[in-house]
Amino acid sequence: MQAGMVIIGAGECGGRAALTLRDLGYEGPVTLVGDEPHLPYERPPLSKEAMTSEAPLIKAIASDELLAERSIRHIHSARAVAIDRAAHVVRLSDGSSLAYDKLLLATGSAPRKLPMPGLGGRCVYLRTFNDALAIRAHLSAGNRVAIIGGGFIGLELAASARKLGATVTVLEAQPRILMRGVPAEIAEIIHKAHETEGVKVLTGQGIAAIADNGVEVLVTLADGNEVVADLAVIGIGAVPVTALAAEAGLAIDNGIAVDGTLRTDDPDIFAAGDCCSFPLGVYGGRRVRLEAWRNAQEQGALAAKNML
Residue 78 pLDDT greater than 80, yes or no: yes
Q: What is the CATH number of the domain that holds 31?
A: 3.50.50.60
Strand (E) or helix (H) holding 228 = strand 226-229
Residue 69 pLDDT greater than 90, yes or no: yes
Mean pLDDT (the chain) is 95
* CB atoms near residue 43 (< 10 Å): 20
The pLDDT > 90 percentage for the chain reads: 92
pLDDT digit string (tens) for 99-109?
999 999 999 99
Q: What is the pLDDT of residue 54?
A: 84
Same domain as 72, residue 31: yes
pLDDT digit string (tens) for 229-277?
999 999 999 999 999 999 999 999 999 999 999 999 999 999 999 999 9
Same domain as 229, residue 149: yes
Domain boundary among 185, 204, 234: 234
Same domain as 230, residue 121: yes
Same domain as 35, residue 131: no
- Collapsed DSSP state (helix, strand, coil) of residue 67: helix
- Collapsed DSSP state (helix, strand, coil) of residue 269: strand
Same domain as 196, residue 151: yes
- Among the ranges given (13-22, 56-65, 86-95, 244-253), the one the predictor scored with the smallest mean pLDDT: 56-65
Residues contacting 283, CB < 8 A, separation 6+: none
Q: What is the pLDDT of residue 181?
A: 86
Average pLDDT over residues 46-72: 92
Q: b/e string for 56-75 if b means 16 or more Cβ within 10 A?
A: eebeebbeeeebeeeebebb
Same domain as 151, residue 298: no
pLDDT digit string (tens) for 87-124?
999 999 999 999 999 999 999 999 999 999 989 999 99
Same domain as 125, residue 93: no
Same domain as 153, residue 10: no
Whole-model pTM?
0.94
Domain boundary among 234, 251, 266: 234
Domain boundary among 204, 234, 264: 234
Residues contacting 243, CB < 8 A, separation 6+: none
Same domain as 87, residue 69: yes
Q: What is the pLDDT of residue 197?
A: 96
Average pLDDT over residues 185-214: 95
Q: What is the pLDDT of residue 96?
A: 96
Q: What is the pLDDT of residue 56?
A: 81
pLDDT digit string (tens) for 199-210?
999 999 899 999
- Name the domain count of the chain: 2
Containing structural domain, residue 214: 113-234
Same domain as 30, residue 72: yes
